[in-house]
Amino acid sequence: MAGERVQRRLAAILAADVVGFSSMMEADEAGTLDRLKAIRREVIDPAIDRYDGRMVKLMGDGALVEFASAVDAVTCALDIQRAVYERGDQGPGATPIRFRVGINIGDIIVDGEDIYGDGVNVAARLEGLTPPGEVYISRAAADQVRDKAPIRLESRGEHALKNIARPVEVFQATDADRPPPPNKRSQPAPQAPLGRNKPSVAILAFNNMSRDPEQEYFSDGISEDIITDLSKVPGLHVIARNSSFIYKGSPVLIPRVAAELGVRYVLEGSVRKAGSRVRVTAQLIDAEAGGGHVWADRYDRDLTDIFAVQDELTQEIVGALRISLTRDETRGFMREQTDNLDAYDSFLRGREEWWKHTKGGNARAQDLLQRAIDLDPNYAPAHAFLALAHMLDYIDKRSAVPEESLVRAVELANKAVELDPAYPNAHHALASVLMWTRQHDDALSSAKRAITLDANFADAQFLLGLLLHYAGRSEEAIDHFDRGMASDPYHQDIYFHWRAQACFQLGRYEDAARLLQQRLIRNPETDISHVLLAACYGHLSRIDEARREWDEVFRINPDYSLEHRRKVLPYKNPADFDRIVDGLRRAGVVD
């Protein structure tokens, strides 16, 4: 009715979503939906009822809930996060379900059962900023909660939120009597890793400014290529993709990013692709100089010039950082790329699918990377990443004949090295596949070559550490794990396990147990870390704890086989595996 008064009220709004929902659905649609339904039925709905909340709407992987009280909203959110984190029945081998939660208190517009307005929008934007397993709230909500409940509040600084007029100060809310649920962003990043005194930079994922959101792979690909190029510059410390990309899609404060990643400089930018034209903008920011620009530029070119743009951008950054290079060093980071844009496009799409590390993503990666090779048989990067994709099929037994996948991976990796001996990823791929064929000496040589070509190559450092461990040189392995963590402070959780293996082999069982506990906080559904932790406890005579860990192994994977692991793990000296078996025997869980 014209002139009808809009209904408004003050409310506390909770916005939540499931972390990694699309990947989980792709890997196991039915299982993911069943787990979500169980969590809602057993955890979320009872908590909302307990605190007099109202479920406004469910939106696929998200939810919007209204409360009359900010205290009730925040307490409810913390109860839910704690209960979801403590659940141990999320399925064998499944990715644990984790939520992001944002809370705001503000004026809302009521339309039947639905609600709108900035009060709702701020909550939704906060949820987008929140790391997995945590609760972020606005200052307005924090002012209402403070001193009224046993809740710890820590400021996360002011953030400019999309379509919100003024910056909002954000607070992390946790239970006062316990730490927040752990996640990789809550870990402190090393400051000035390895005591270096040289320029350091993190390249954030470039924003996709194209009208088509499906072009995101292209902007991500440009960002990753720039990381690869800059990583090869002598005298420059560059943060790995895995760590710098965790800020993707979220408003960021550059000084905070720099502090968390332990760098001085941050590069951010955007890519707009339209037809045969591409626009790349970039700016290099000095976090120690109050966030001032060191350098900024914009490139409007034909798409065919995209490789020249990347080379120019890299040279401009090196110049802005006042790094002096010889002519040979300059040639070292200027890549010989394909001149076939369709091949490059297929490669970028395939590499992005490979990064998902899912069964479906790996299959799509193989199709796309093979297409890139069909279009340009001399394209080394496509061969290297296709080798890694076939290797994953072997490791995870995804192909009909896994051994054939490994043979194909070796062929492709060798071809990548032959096509471009200066491409670090080719040597990394070859080292990876040679490890699984137990060609330890050749694998070690290839991993070292990758690091010689790119001293910032975190994955190559981790791989070299793993190879040294399997070769019986665990003391040396730990140094390379540390170097990898310096370039990739928010590394994948598996690296905790690898470093723990090295400590375990050296008889440092307490150190190994601490590392395994860190991994299990981030990934409680991994059978191999429970096995190794049980073996640690066996050697430490903590028998009850060892048996609990052993029970967890078979809850997660009823088909776990110790003998299969002995057969698969590429130890140069098979007797090294016996230390694990001996720890389990001491605990009385195996004969």
Residues 173 and 205 in one domain: no
Asked if residue 496 lies in contact with residue 518, where contact means CB atoms within 8 angstroms, the answer is yes
Shared domain for 171 and 228, answered yes or no, is no
Tell me whether residue 476 is in a domain.
Answer: no
Q: In the prediction, which pLDDT does 332 show? A: 55
CA distance 471 to 460: 16
**Measured between alpha carbons, how far is 83 from 38 in angstroms, rounded to an integer?**
12
pLDDT tens across 317-354, in order? 888 887 765 666 555 555 557 889 899 999 999 998 99
406 and 509 both lie in a single domain: no
Parallel/antiparallel/unpaired status of strands 168-175 and 151-159: antiparallel
The predicted structure's pLDDT at residue 66: 94
Of 454, 472, 506, which residue is a domain's last?
Answer: 454
Q: Is residue 414 domain-shared with residue 551, that is, in the same domain?
A: no
d(CA 54, CA 197): 54
**Do residues 33 and 173 both lie within one domain?**
yes
Report the number of distinct structural domains present in the chain: 4
Measured distance CA(463)–CA(485) in Å, rounded: 12
> What does the pLDDT read at residue 191?
39
Identify the CATH number of the domain in which residue 559 sits: 1.25.40.10
Same domain, 373 and 286: no
Contact 303, 277 (CB under 8 A): yes
In a shared domain, residues 147 and 14: yes
Examine the domain organization and report whether 177 and 320 are in the same domain: no
Please indicate, yes or no, if residue 472 is contained in any of the structural domains: no
Tell me how far the alpha carbon of residue 109 is from its chain's centroid: 37
Domain assignment present for residue 186? The answer is no
Q: How far apart are CA 569 and CA 571, in angstroms?
A: 6
- 536 within a domain of the structure (yes/no): yes
| SS3 state of residue 562 | helix
The pLDDT score that the predictor gives to residue 489 is 85
pLDDT beneath 70, residues of the chain: 1-6, 22-23, 26, 59-60, 88-95, 160, 162-163, 176-197, 249-251, 290-291, 324-336
Coil, helix or strand at residue 204 = coil
The whole-number pLDDT of residue 375 equals 97
Of 121, 154, 181, which one is at a domain's C-terminal end? 181
The verdict on 385 and 436 lying in the same domain is: yes
Q: At what angle do helices 458-470 and 424-436 cross, to 10 degrees?
A: 30
Position 329 scores a pLDDT of 57
Domain with 250 in it? 193-335
Residue 343, both tokens: 């091949």
What CATH number did the domain enclosing 23 receive?
3.30.70.1230
Report yes or no: 44 and 147 within 8 Å, Cβ to Cβ: no
Of 407, 438, 454, which residue constitutes the final position of a domain?
454
Torsion angle of the four alpha carbons 486, 23, 416, 376, in this order, in degrees rounded to the nearest 10: -130
CATH of the domain at 330: 3.40.50.10610
Q: Give the integer Cα–Cα distance in Å for 555 and 525.
A: 9
Q: Are residues 97 and 127 in the same domain?
A: yes
